[in-house]
Structure 1
Amino acid sequence: MVKAEETFYLVRGDFLPEAMRKTLEVKAQLERGKASSVFEAVKEVGLSRSAFYKYRDAVFPFQAIQQTRIITLFFHLEDRSGTLSKLLDTVAQAGGNILTIHQTIPVNGKANVTLSLDVERLNIELDGLINKLKKQEFIERVDILSSGA
């Protein structure tokens, strides 16, 4: 069972209590070097030091907790039995976590597949995975559409 203090929620900023929003402002000022100390930062945003220390380890900006490296790949595949399965297996064997899959209906013996992958835990270099995919005889083309890596 997960303890309440280990559960995370994504909450829109304007629903947070003022002290939590100000805690985020203090953390941002310290990160950017706009304040040289907690005392200076809390004074600037109008927050007590005790409130800052109460919330500092409990509230984070969304970007700070987004630790995954996500990449979106586009494939042009031959329409043969098992090709999608082989593609997904290659990605899984490399340690990629498949987040989304979109496959078009095959036309003229070809299908397009778009995969979004979490590549944080790859057991090979990303370039190595892409090269391995390009070498598959049923894959005609691999393009990187986006990369948060």
Structure 2
Amino acid sequence: MDHPKYLLVDTSVLPEVFLKVINAKKLLAQGKVKSASEAARIAGISRSAFYKYKDCVQPYHSKISDHIVTIYASLADEPGVLSSVISQLYNSGANILTLNQNIPVDSVAHVSISAKVGSITCSEEALVDQIRTLPGVVNAKLLSGN
């Protein structure tokens, strides 16, 4: 009988060690600890358990790509304009993933921002409308997203 390579399993039925491995991996990835030994100790598992499962246990983020948008904006080459756009995204609950700003031409800089918007407090279109109204924003449009 062929067994599936991957299973989607509710964490409530898994042994606690798997969740602790995920936690240890997160501590390492975020730089909160300096070694796998320290991560395992803080997570409450043995180092051998960490190494046994670390490559086999991954968190599942359902529909993560459905919650990412790319916004393209033209900004006046003035101090604080990009900062106000970033603040608007933050205040709306968006998490910036990438930001690319080109060198200004004719006093206008073109910026593309990709952000995770699964927790935003408004619609994606409303967020872009809010960005358009900020001082120094020449134009903004939603390039991709829901």
TM over 0.5: yes
Aligned residues: 96
Of 125-134 and 80-89, deviating more is: 125-134
Which residue does 1:5 correspond to in 2? 18
> Shift in Å at residue 142 of structure 1?
1.1
Q: Provide the alpha-carbon RMSD of the alignment.
A: 2.5
Which residue does 1:100 correspond to in 2? 98
Which residue does 1:135 correspond to in 2? 133
CA distance in 2, matches of 1:4, 1:110: 53
CA distance in 1, matches of 2:61, 2:119: 16
Task: Verify the 8 A CA contact 2:128 2:142 in the aligned structure 1.
Answer: no
Of 77, 81, 84, 2:82 maps to: 84
Question: Structure 1 counterpart of 2:99, which letter?
Answer: I
Question: Structure 2 counterpart of 1:99, which letter?
Answer: L
SS in 1 for 2:75: strand
Structure 1: gaps (5+ residues): 10-57
Choose 1 or 2 for highest CA Rg.
1
Q: 1:59 to 1:4 in 2, by over 3 A?
A: closer
Structure 2: gaps (5+ residues): 1-15, 26-55
For normalisation by structure 2, the TM-score amounts to 0.58
> Shift in Å at residue 112 of structure 1?
0.5
For normalisation by structure 1, the TM-score amounts to 0.57
